[in-house]
Amino acid sequence: MKGFTLSEVLITLVIVGVIAAMTIPGIIQSTQEQEYVTSLKKASSILNSAISMIKANEGISPDEWGLVPPRDMLLIDKLLPYLNYVKVCKSGENCHKNDVFTKSKLRMSNPFSDRPVVVLTDGMIIGGITTSPTNIKIAGNERKELAEFIVDVNGDRGPNRFGVDNFVFILTNDGIIPTGGNFIGPPTVWPYDFENGCLNSDSNGGGCTAWVLTHSNLDYLHCPDKIRAGKTSCKEK
């Protein structure tokens, strides 16, 4: 059998290298995004479980907690007995040290620094802020917005970008609601709807949470036109 010449071996190595350079970054990105999806689902479970336990043990719903600005620490204190955490920071102490970015990669004022936050044992960071009670409609049902939670699902390791590893939930009289659903009404802090808060190229990422929990992907980052056309992933034809 004829052996390969040195030039043939070098050409083969170059081709293999080019293919690897084209495919490996995509594989790494996909793996990271699935980690964010898994962590967000965990965050949602943690918040929902805490709210349910408060209702069961204290017999009161969130609109009976006394949540009015600026009682932000009360919001976090309510959750603490039902969380596994290592550290709590008051507003201004900033447990989240690194820069924070919008979905469109614009540096923003670190929203974790102006509200109390709790750092969980797995590194996840949850910040909470009370809001002036605002009536909103979600899928046609009226709710009263009471507070907002922001979650960095992998701590402050990065990319610290809303709609990627940072997400938003709101607290209503009925419990925790992921942003990005069928919201109608003036949002207090973020654009909560999916189109303006997530899908648009210049959105800040405040409306991506429901999509990720429902479809288990971050494909609005990669094929927004397909998503806008009704597809649920970039893989769909």
Q: How far apart are CA 123 and CA 87, in angstroms?
A: 10
Please tell me the predicted confidence (pLDDT) of residue 127.
94
Q: Could you give the angle at the alpha carbon of 173 between the alpha carbons of 170 and 176, nearest 5°? A: 35
Least confident range from 7-11, 30-34, 161-165: namely: 7-11
Task: Mention every residue, 6+ apart, whose C-beta is less than 8 A from residue 178.
Answer: 44, 167, 168, 169, 209, 210, 213
Residue 56 token pair: 């069961």
Q: How far apart are CA 135 and CA 193, in angstroms?
A: 15
Domain boundaries, the chain: 31-228
Greater model confidence, 63 or 132: 63
Residue 145 token pair: 């917005």
Mean local confidence (pLDDT), 36-40: 97
Mean local confidence (pLDDT), 65-73: 84
Q: What is the pTM of this model?
A: 0.85
Share of the chain above pLDDT 90, in %: 57
Question: Do the Cβ atoms of 164 and 177 come closer than 8 Å?
Answer: no
Residue 70 burial (CB count, 10 A): 10
Please tell me the predicted confidence (pLDDT) of residue 1.
46
Share of the chain above pLDDT 70, in %: 86
